Chains A and B, each alone.
Chain A
Amino acid sequence: MILFVSLLRPGQEYLSGPPHKTKCRFEELTGLPVLLQHFTQVTPEFVNRLPIKAIILSGSPAPWPELKPKELLGLYDVLRETEIPTLGLCAGHQLLDFVFSLDFRQTETLEDQHIRSLGPLEPDLAVGDEPSGWFREKGYYHVEITTADPLFATFDGHCMVRESHMCEVKELPPGFMHLARSEGCEIQAMRHRERRMYGTQFHPEGWNDEYPDGRQILTNFFHIADLI
């Protein structure tokens, strides 16, 4: 079984649509059941009780100050210690940065780490409730693979993947190494040096027929996790 942790706001729960659709995509790729859980439900005891073979952290549209470290403590304790193969997607990638850079028991709030402010001639890609005035990557972007890794096996130096973010990881957290970059964002992918733990700023789960690379990257992760 794969544990898919939703990082959407408490009260907002998992929203309709995307997390379930993504769950179905993981199930299609692995043939394994995927248990969707809200981050407030996840603790080391919870994870130890179930036969969990991989952990995937979802993205989230919420600004980081809305997710409180004390609500994330259970998940924090899991991620700090776990040997289970783990993949953080977008906000999940940024969460790995926070988890390995900060002591959540001593931290009041998590701050948005914006990529940068918009230049005067740049379009604002924010829609709906999204905060305006920030540079965003949105759509399918060229990502350059800077370090050979099984996550990018079968790729020749670059891939085209779905992006949707205005925040980023500014500095590699302790214990992690850099794997990929894009023109707009330096840390597009990272991995833990000793564990099978990855973060991608992009959304491999957002592949489509025209841009299928994300599907292959997920397949590679599931290979790394010995699930397929």
Chain B
Amino acid sequence: MILLVSQHRMGDVYANSNGHHEIKVRLEKIARTPVLVQHYSEVSPALVTSLPVDAIFIAGTAVPFTEVEPEHMQGLYELVRTTDVPIIGVCGGHQLLGVLFSHNPLDLHNPVVDLIRPLGEGEYDSMAEKCPGYLKELGMWPVEITVSDPLFEGLGKMPRFFEWHSREIKQLPEGFVRLARNVNCDIQAMKHRDKCIYGVQFHPENWTEPYPAGKRLLENFFRIAGLIE
């Protein structure tokens, strides 16, 4: 079973969401195992030991970490720091790993994650309603693999992945190595040195037919996690 951790805003926003339905269905098809969706505030080491969880997928978020109550993040914090279950964090999940493995893990105002950069003079704003004046990466962007890793097997040097973010990890957390970068963002992928914990700034789950690299990346991850052959 895969545990899919939602970072939707707590309460009605989460309850009225579709519960990451599209991601759940895609992961269930690739990994051939059920996906249990849980809100970050419901997750703990005890939950994961009570269930046959083979992998953890931390989904993205549109909620800045400064709006999250640290006490609601305590269980997930303890989980990612202690578990041996393979983890992948995507976009906001990747950024959350950046915070939870930093020196001030439960200070969610932590400057480890911040806006990418202000737009230059005359530079195109890909979505003016969100963080106006700042660069957003939106669309299928090329990403350069800087360290070869089983996660990127079969993907060449410069695959395209769906990007949709305004923030990034500014500083690699302790114990992690950088795996990929691109023209806009220096930490596009990272991996824990000793444990099977990956973070990717992009959304591999949003692959399309013309740009299927994200699907291959997730298959690679589930292979590393021992879920598929």
Contact = CB atoms under 8 A, between A and B. Distances in A.
Main secondary structure of the interface of B (DSSP, over half): mixed
Interface in B7-49: 14-19, 21, 24-25, 28, 34, 36-38, 42, 47
Q: Which of A13, A15, A41 has the most CB of B within 10 A?
A: A13
Contact of A21 (B16, B24, B42, B47): B16
B56 to A, nearest CB: 13
Contacts of B50: 51
A14 B52 CA distance: 24
A33 B42 contact: yes
Contacts, number: 49
A20 B47 contact: no
Nearest to B43: A33
Interface string A36-66: 1100010000100111000000000000000
Contacts of A49: 52
B1 interface: yes
Main secondary structure of the interface of A (DSSP, over half): mixed
Contact of B17 (A1, A20, A27, A36): A20
B51 A1 contact: yes
B37 A36 contact: yes
Contacts of A27: 42
Contacts of A20: 15, 17-19, 21, 37
Contacts of A35: 1, 34, 36
Interface in B136-186: none
Nearest to A27: B42
In this complex, the interface size class of chain B, counting residues with CB under 8 Å from chain A, is: 20 to 34
Given A16-B18, A20-B17, A36-B19, A50 B42 contact: no
A17 B18 contact: yes
A24 B34 contact: no
A192 interface: no
A1 B51 CA distance: 8
B51 A51 contact: yes
B27 to A, nearest CB: 13
A38 to B, nearest CB: 8
30 contacts: A1-B51, A13-B21, A14-B18, A14-B21, A15-B18, A17-B16, A17-B18, A19-B19, A20-B15, A20-B19, A20-B37, A21-B15, A23-B37, A24-B14, A24-B15, A25-B15, A27-B42, A33-B36, A33-B51, A35-B1, A35-B34, A35-B36, A36-B24, A36-B37, A37-B34, A41-B34, A50-B1, A50-B34, A50-B52, A51-B50
Interface of B: 1, 14-19, 21, 24-25, 28, 34, 36-38, 42, 47, 50-52
